[in-house]
Amino acid sequence: MTQSAEVICVGTELLLGEILNTNAQFLAQQLAQLGIPHYYQTVVGDNPQRLQKVLSLACERSRLLIFTGGLGPTPDDLTTEAIAGFFDVPLAERPEIIESLDQKYAHRRQAMAASNRKQALLPVGAQILPNPIGSAPGLIWTPRPGLTLMTFPGVPKEMQAMWHETAVPYLNAEGWVTSTLVSRILRHWGIPESSLAEKVQDFFALDNPTVAPYAGKGEVRLRITASADSAEVAHALIAPVQAQIEAIAGDDCFGADEDTLASVVGRYLEREGHTLSVAESCTGGGIGQQLTQVPGSSTYFKGGVIAYDNEVKQSMLSVTADALRQHGAVSAVVAEQMALGVKQRLNTTWGLSVTGIAGPDGGTSAKPVGLVYIGIAGPDVVRSYSHQFAAYRGRDWIRWLSACTALDHLRRQYSTSLV
């Protein structure tokens, strides 16, 4: 059996969809970076019998089992108890954990509840996996030769701190880390996944680094992953492949890794000392939301007007009554007037606008649901673009694509004007 890891996330709230399982994503990324093979993930509710069934299966196929969740003081926190029961090993209270809990509660000027003593119970022979910021410690345990278990609380910040401070050094010391996997994500907008895949299909045959496409929410991503003895060597393997793909993709590639359309547009604006304002109808503030998610965006994003009603388009953005009467609110002319109007109103370098029919109602044969016009007004340009987004994907999808595509058009306009 290969020395592979398995992630087991415990919590009925995960099965009910009440919270997003970010712990599994974090651990998957971390294991990949350490070069530890990771083939299985399981989510199981707070039920000791089902947890032990999952544990039984995991022991047959994996050598490192990583648990998150179920370490708290409440009756439904059963992970440690279930693990000890599976291996028929008694639990013992650890005085050093009691002492740590007492200190933490004293620091908070609170009395420790009797139920918290449960968190000091670990299987006999297990090591303590300290929790520097929370109350629930984890364990590192080798209950049988060739099998290692680690447990973490479900709180992401606590789990991540414990992983970095204790788990990673342990895995290095025990020889689990034999290579490093590094990935670079190239992000694309305005090109279908199939079209991009056709352009770069020769790269899919590479062994190291590997290249794989995946799509989501209108964006197409290419993941380049290299395996090497060090991160530096892995990055060196990725670099030439990345450069070739970026040359082939051209302006369809807008960034890498954590880049967003808003952050890339922001870098253009900041670099040139320019400012931006937005006029939004069908997106209802979606462009502004994306822009303001970028730290420091106040240096270049001045604000916007949500001009949902035609009267607001006229009074706030100087859209003319003739344009609305002759062409309608969803039109190229109105999109251009909105962009120019907000640019002038807020005195910015660029104005960006969106007007469209997000549905599910309001469409006609001439202007169906999903029809969107985007306007751009800049130092030397006023223009518009039309898009017909798929109505069957729904209102939220159309609004999201409209906001992202508006930012993408400004990005491309910038790229062209700065060549």
Q: What is the mean pLDDT of the chain?
A: 94
- Evaluate if residue 418 carries a pLDDT over 70: no
Shared domain for 165 and 242, answered yes or no, is: no
Average pLDDT over residues 312-318: 97
**Nearest of 230, 240, 188 to residue 209 by alpha carbon:** 240
Burial of 158 (0-12, 13-18, 19+ CB in 10 A): buried
Q: What is the pLDDT of residue 75?
A: 84
The predicted-structure confidence for 153-190, as pLDDT tens digits, reads as follows 999 999 999 999 999 999 999 999 888 888 999 999 99
- Evaluate if residue 263 carries a pLDDT over 50: yes
Burial of 43 (0-12, 13-18, 19+ CB in 10 A): middle
Provide the percentage of residues in the chain whose pLDDT is more than 70: 99
In CATH, what number is assigned to the domain containing residue 190? 3.30.70.2860
Last residue of a domain, which of 203, 226, 256?
256
Residue with the bigger pLDDT between 47 and 108: it is 47
Shared domain for 321 and 350, answered yes or no, is: yes
Spatial neighbors of 325 by CB under 8 A, at least 6 apart, are none
Average pLDDT over residues 262-267: 98
The predicted-structure confidence for 105-146, as pLDDT tens digits, reads as follows 777 777 777 777 888 899 999 999 999 988 889 999 999 999
In CATH, what number is assigned to the domain containing residue 139? 3.40.980.10
Spatial neighbors of 279 by CB under 8 A, at least 6 apart, are 304, 305, 307, 317, 338, 339, 341, 342, 351, 352, 353, 354, 375
Last residue of a domain, which of 173, 190, 223?
173
Poorest-confidence range of 34-38, 265-269, 371-375?
34-38
Alpha helices in 328-394 (DSSP H): 332-346
Q: What is the pLDDT of residue 324?
A: 98
Looking only at the bridges linking them, the beta strands covering 64-68 and 121-123 are: unpaired
Poorest-confidence range of 10-24, 91-105, 187-201, 237-251?
91-105
Shared domain for 290 and 391, answered yes or no, is: yes
Average pLDDT over residues 66-93: 93
Average pLDDT over residues 88-116: 83
Asked if residues 289 and 364 have their Cβ atoms less than 8 Å apart, the reply is no
Other beta carbons within 10 Å of 93: 12
Shared domain for 325 and 377, answered yes or no, is: yes
Shared domain for 147 and 296, answered yes or no, is: no
Other beta carbons within 10 Å of 302: 17
- Evaluate if residue 417 carries a pLDDT over 70: no
Shared domain for 168 and 27, answered yes or no, is: yes
* pLDDT level of residue 103 (50, 70, 90 thresholds): confident
* pLDDT level of residue 419 (50, 70, 90 thresholds): very low
Number of domains, the chain: 3
Q: How far apart are the C-alpha atoms of 337 and 242, rounded to whole Å?
A: 40
Poorest-confidence range of 106-120, 179-193, 291-305, 364-378?
106-120
Q: Whole-structure pTM over 0.85, yes or no?
A: no
Shared domain for 163 and 218, answered yes or no, is: no
* pLDDT level of residue 71 (50, 70, 90 thresholds): very high
* pLDDT level of residue 33 (50, 70, 90 thresholds): confident
Shared domain for 219 and 117, answered yes or no, is: no
Q: What is the pLDDT of residue 2?
A: 66
In CATH, what number is assigned to the domain containing residue 379? 3.90.950.20
What is the extent of the structural domain holding 232?
180-256
Shared domain for 16 and 85, answered yes or no, is: yes
Region of 207 on the Ramachandran plot (φ > 0 left; ψ -120 to 50 alpha; else beta)? alpha
Last residue of a domain, which of 206, 239, 256?
256
Shared domain for 61 and 149, answered yes or no, is: yes
Shared domain for 59 and 133, answered yes or no, is: yes
Shared domain for 348 and 279, answered yes or no, is: yes
Average pLDDT over residues 316-330: 97
